Amino acid sequence: MAMEIVPVRPDFVARVGGVDLVSATHGEVFARLRRALDDHCVLIFSGQPMNDRQQLAFSRWWGPMEPTKGVNPASGTPFARQSNLDVETGEIIAPDDRRMAYQRGNYRWHADSTFKRVPSLCSILTAREVPPEGGNTEFASTRAAHEALPDDLAAVIEDLIVEHDFSVSRGRVGFQFTPEEAAHYPPAWHPLVQTNPVTGRKSLLIGAHASRIVGWPVDRGEALLEDLLERATPTAAIYSHRWVKGDVVIWDNRSVLHRATAYDSARYRRLMQRTTISSPDSVNSDSYARIHALREAATAKQSGGVTR
């Protein structure tokens, strides 16, 4: 079987065929898949049903997996579960249940785990149970958005640092963490402009968790982030994935935004299992060195240290 990578759009998203992800070996296929992620940012595979064990084995190819903490129903496991089904009983959860309110945070454009100090390389989502209508996942490219920026705006944002804060993003959709839950998620700082180390192409780390620009008044930072988000997500630039059971989709969290769309969750069952790959090497890059220094200075100042 020869693996085939076919672009869906000229600027991002590709379909990958001619490979069986469960029986293929790392040595045969991984280098091409990894490069395809850098080039196309979203990879779609059809007819690749996986159970949890198979998904974990495939996910390990990509790097260290993030454990799921806090409020996700799969907390304590390597999976984030996007589902209206009770973990224990498999029954449909009532739409007004707190667990469903939490998941509706996914309706806003975001990249996964940007609120963590170590950002994510990519997410792998497998479709286990799919509603007959609705429940698409939409994708938009922040690499294309960066490429289309006017030069003066690109210059203004080049060295900015963006704070991502999970409590703020869930708060904006009316979901309040308890103090105990919030303690899992201290805000994280990242370069607003990310550079892919393989392709050299730039993208924007924005989306729902982006709460402010470090060193800017909050409202000015929010206005900039809102402007960048609008530039990245015009309707014509969106790829909407209609899920079929057995689909596997991998997306690059450094260069695409995604969001869930509604479905009749009181009526239809939906179960998607996500593994999230961490990118520990990225925080050793030059652009993060400045962030570490600034954060240390800020912490020293807060604790009364001398910062001259």
Q: Which residues bind Mn ion (CB under 5 A)?
A: 112
CB nearer ligand OGA, residue 29 or residue 140: 140
CB nearer Mn ion, residue 66 or residue 112: 112
CB nearer ligand OGA, residue 128 or residue 202: 128
125 binds, among ligand OGA, Mn ion, none (CB under 5 to 8 A by kind): ligand OGA
Distance CA(306)–CA(308), nearest Å, equals 6
Distance CA(148)–CA(195), nearest Å, equals 15
Distance CA(284)–CA(280), nearest Å, equals 8
Distance CA(71)–CA(210), nearest Å, equals 20
Q: Under 8 Å CB-to-CB from 183, ≥6 apart: which residues?
A: none
Distance CA(190)–CA(163), nearest Å, equals 7
84 binds ligand OGA (CB under 6 A): no
**Minimum distance from residue 176 beta carbon to ligand OGA (Å):** 20
59 binds ligand OGA (CB under 6 A): no
Distance CA(238)–CA(275), nearest Å, equals 23
**Minimum distance from residue 297 beta carbon to ligand OGA (Å):** 33
Each residue 87-106 as x (binds ligand OGA by CB under 6 A) or -, in order, gives: -------------------x
CB nearer ligand OGA, residue 102 or residue 189: 102
82 binds ligand OGA (CB under 6 A): yes
Please check whether residue 129 is in contact with residue 90, taking contact to mean a CB–CB distance below 8 angstroms. Answer: no
149 binds, among Mn ion, ligand OGA, none (CB under 5 to 8 A by kind): none
**Minimum distance from residue 82 beta carbon to ligand OGA (Å):** 4
260 binds ligand OGA (CB under 6 A): yes
Size of the site for ligand OGA (CB under 6 A): 10
CB nearer Mn ion, residue 106 or residue 282: 106
CB nearer ligand OGA, residue 149 or residue 249: 249
| CA angle at 94 for the pair 93 and 97, rounded to the nearest 5° | 95
CB nearer ligand OGA, residue 164 or residue 258: 258
Among 81, 137, 79, smallest CA distance to 277 is for 79
* 139 residue type, one letter: F
Sites for ligand OGA among residues 105-134 (CB under 6 A): 106, 112, 123, 125
Tokens describing residue 246: 């057995």
Q: What is the three-class DSSP state of 25?
A: coil
Among 170, 122, 108, smallest CA distance to 275 is for 122
Q: Using CB under 6 A as the criterion, which residues of the chain lie in contact with ligand OGA when the complex forms?
A: 82, 106, 112, 123, 125, 137, 258, 260, 272, 274
